[in-house]
Amino acid sequence: MGKDPQDLPGLDPFRCSRRNFIIMGHRAVSDGSIFLNDLCGASGRWDGLARALSSGLFLSHDMRRDTSIHLLLLGPPDPPKVISIDGARVKYLNPDERASAALMRKNLRTKLGEDAGTTLRTSPGIHLTRGGLETILDRIDGPVFLLHESGEDLTDCMVNGGIGEGPWNFFLSDDMEFTDKELSLLRSRASGVLSVSPLSLHTYQAMILVHNALDRFG
């Protein structure tokens, strides 16, 4: 297959999209041992991460090319590590959860250095980065928004011009709450805490509502 001229070798996965979703995977398996027959249990809730990946990147007949998804893998055996998927450049991604988890598993088989911030392109539009929340916060460009049902209504905030022109970085947790340490780090850097519903939603549902607000008012 010919080389994609847009898939530049030096591309920073945290700075190539206008919409960035960063999702905590508190127990998510962090190497190529994701167990496809048990994404929910033995793989540390990779089912939710794979669903968030599909919801974040797929349209009915297209990809959201302005969006990157960054999954922060904090489970065993090789945390902390981020796998970033760029909607403009990724290839071989399928909306089916098991297939997307399989593609992530294949990419996670590549060995990554130990130095925080080390980034490796593992396939078109997919990068691995060594590091946790602090590394991500150091690398991203643009404002940080923490998503939580207790926050300010996103559409009200947008109508009042409160989230700017982008790029945007939206931080969400998985089925577990953010830890106190994560919350204090995020709050110290966040431009705001945003809510998309008065109800507590699944991560992928909250992401779809963020996309919808940006599609309509952004």
Ligand X SMILES: C[S@@+](CC[C@H](N)C(=O)[O-])C[C@H]1O[C@@H](n2cnc3c(N)ncnc32)[C@H](O)[C@@H]1O
Question: How many residues are listed for the chain in this entry?
Answer: 218
Alpha-carbon span 216 to 178, nearest angstrom? 29
Alpha-carbon span 127 to 116, nearest angstrom? 14
Smaller CB separation from ligand X, 127 or 148: 148
By CB under 6 A, tell whether 148 contacts ligand X: yes
Residue of 203, 211, 213, 214 interacting with ligand X (CB under 6 A): 203
Smaller CB separation from ligand X, 26 or 121: 26
* Shortest reach from residue 203's CB to ligand X, in Å: 4
Residue nearest to ligand X (CB): 173
Kindly give, in sequence order, each residue whose CB lies less than 8 Å from that of residue 130, ignoring residues fewer than 6 positions away. Answer: 80, 81, 112, 113, 114, 115, 116, 117, 118, 119
Residue of 57, 169, 195, 214 interacting with ligand X (CB under 6 A): 195
Residue among 35, 13, 26 at smallest CA distance from 105: 35
Residue among 65, 62, 71 at smallest CA distance from 24: 71
Residue of 83, 206, 213, 214 interacting with ligand X (CB under 6 A): 206
Stretch that binds ligand X, among 32-40, 55-63, 86-94, 196-204 (CB under 6 A): 196-204
Neighbouring CB atoms inside 10 A of 183's CB total 16
By CB under 6 A, tell whether 213 contacts ligand X: no
Residue of 175, 179, 183, 191 interacting with ligand X (CB under 6 A): 175
Instruction: Name the site residues for ligand X (rule: CB under 6 A).
Output: 147-149, 172-173, 175, 177, 195-197, 199-203, 206
